[in-house]
Copies of this chain bind each other. A is one copy, B any other.
Amino acid sequence: MSGPRTEVAGYRVGGRLDQREDRLATRSRRAPPAWQQEEKVATINDVARRAGVSTATVSRALNGKSTVDPALVTRVRAAAKELGYHPNGLARNLRRQETAVLALIIADVENPFFTAIARGVEDVAQAEGYSVVLCNSDESAEKERRYIDVALQERVAGVILSPTGATSNVERLHERGTPVVAVDRPLPAGDQVLVDTRLAAREATNHLIAAGYRRIGCVTGPAGVRTANDRLAGYRDAIRAANRPELFRHGQYWAAGGKQATVELLAEPEPPDALLIANSAMAIGVLEALSEAKLRLGRDIGVVTFDDAAWATLIDPPLTVVAQPAYEIGEQAAKLLFARIGDPSPPPHTVTLAARLVTRGSTLRG
């Protein structure tokens, strides 16, 4: 944004934003064809003129201030409708020093867990008259930083994000006093909505032990990601308590990551006869690997995965899962954020939700 730039023969060379600026430049340079009406967008001034009142009155009338003659209100409304007037939100927000927009920065738009969160946030936000800008950090601290910059520039009312872990990014928001709520992953000192997945992982592992599996493995997410670490920790809690051997792999929170981890685990001298999987995207890869290894779910190998995917009941036998309250996470986060927007003073608040083990056929030894 404010990085170094280079000028070459009138063309700016550099980062992405330059492309945009070139485009804008191009646009404004191009004169409209003579026959084409220079279409002016109606402003509050036009409405005022047409209604024969001042802009102040138009503003008051359209914003439902009590102190306006009903007759004028009607006239103003009519004028506005005739001109197809839509108030300019930019000007309004600039003046009000407020924007009815929340930024939601999540790690993966295509992960149902996060889209469910998005829905929760959106529903609450919409009820408050706010819009939600969804941004995809793609688990990249750099993209996260960029989106936080955008949020800062656009002066959004608040930010909800699943932190990548680079706390310096979030610092920027704190410095500016922009309210922030973290979801799914913790934030050093701030509002957050978390799920006790360590406990859930422990319970799931205990469930596998109780079901009679002997060598229980774990396929978890990237070592840097907090949820991945937590789920692994919960697994280890249970494994140690039961005095069993530990057997685990990290991988990307993707099908491919799950598949590779599984292939590796199955190649161990003493392979696992049960697996705890940290996320449903990975589960897809894991199941592929198991299928290729001709292992029968439940019978040959027990499986529990985090996230209650829609398809979990379609496979045979159906998948035992750890269901996370994703929608509720979004709701709570939005509520926390609005509370913070309303009053910045109270100390940080952490909401911890519980995950729920849903037992199905994939953990029945048969």
**Interface residues in chain A, defined as those with a beta carbon under 8 Å from any beta carbon in chain B:** 2, 5, 7, 12, 14, 16-21, 23-24, 26-27, 30, 33, 36, 39, 41, 62-64, 66, 77, 80, 84, 86-94, 96, 98-101, 109-110, 112, 115-116, 118-119, 122, 126-136, 147, 149-150, 152-155, 175-177, 255, 281, 284, 287-288, 291, 309-311, 313-316, 338, 341-343, 345
Pairwise interchain contact A84-B314, C-beta atoms closer than 8 A: no
A90 touches B86 (CB 8 A): no
Q: A154-B89, A338-B23 are in contact. Are A115 and B110 (CB under 8 A)?
A: yes
The answer to whether A110 touches B110 (Cβ under 8 A) is: no
Which partner residue on chain B sits nearest A12 by CB separation? B64
Given contacts A92-B153, A131-B147, 9 further A-B contacts (CB under 8 A): A20-B129, A21-B63, A23-B128, A23-B342, A33-B345, A90-B99, A109-B118, A281-B310, A315-B316
Residues of B within 8 A of A152 (CB): 86
Across the interface, do B314 and A287 meet the contact criterion of CB distance under 8 Å? Answer: yes
Contact B342 A149 (CB under 8 A): no
A12 to B65, alpha carbons, bound, how many Å?
Answer: 9
What separation, in Å, do the CA atoms of A14 and B129 have in the docked complex? Answer: 12
CA distance A66 to B13 in the complex (A): 12
A159 → chain B closest CB, angstroms: 13
Pick the contact of A128: B16, B135, B153, B281 (CB < 8 A): B16
Identical chains bound together, number: 2
* Bound complex: CA A7 to CA B107 (Å): 43
Whole-angstrom distance between the Cβ of A57 and the nearest chain B Cβ: 14
Q: Given A16-B127, A23-B341, A155-B88, are A41 and B176 neighbors across the interface (CB < 8 Å)?
A: yes
Distance between A244 CB and nearest chain B CB, rounded to angstroms:
28
Which B residues are CB-close (under 8 A) to A126? 16
Known: A19-B127, A129-B16. A284 touches B115 (CB 8 A): no
The CA-CA distance from A112 to B155 in the complex, in Å, is: 30
Instruction: Flag if A314 contacts B313 (CB, 8 Å).
Output: no
A116 to chain B: closest residue by CB: B110
- 21 inter-chain pairs at a CB distance below 8 angstroms, sorted by A residue, are A2-B62, A16-B127, A18-B129, A20-B100, A20-B130, A23-B338, A84-B175, A86-B153, A88-B94, A88-B155, A89-B154, A90-B99, A90-B154, A91-B94, A109-B118, A109-B119, A122-B136, A131-B150, A287-B314, A311-B315, A316-B316
Contacts of A176 in B (CB 8 A): 41, 84, 86
Least Cβ distance of A168 to chain B in Å? Answer: 13
Closest to A135 in B: B131
Residues of chain B within 8 A (CB-CB) of A77 are 2
A109 and B112 alpha carbons, distance in the complex (Å):
9
Chain B proximity of A327: nearest CB distance (Å): 10
- The smallest C-beta distance from A146 to any residue of chain B, in angstroms, reads 8
Asked if residues A133 and B134 are in contact (CB atoms below 8 Å), the reply is yes
Given A119-B110, A287-B314, A338-B23, the answer on whether A132 and B129 have CB atoms closer than 8 Å is no
Q: Is the CB of B149 within 8 A of A136?
A: no
Contacts of A122 in B (CB 8 A): 109, 136
A12 contacts which chain B residues (CB < 8 A)? 64
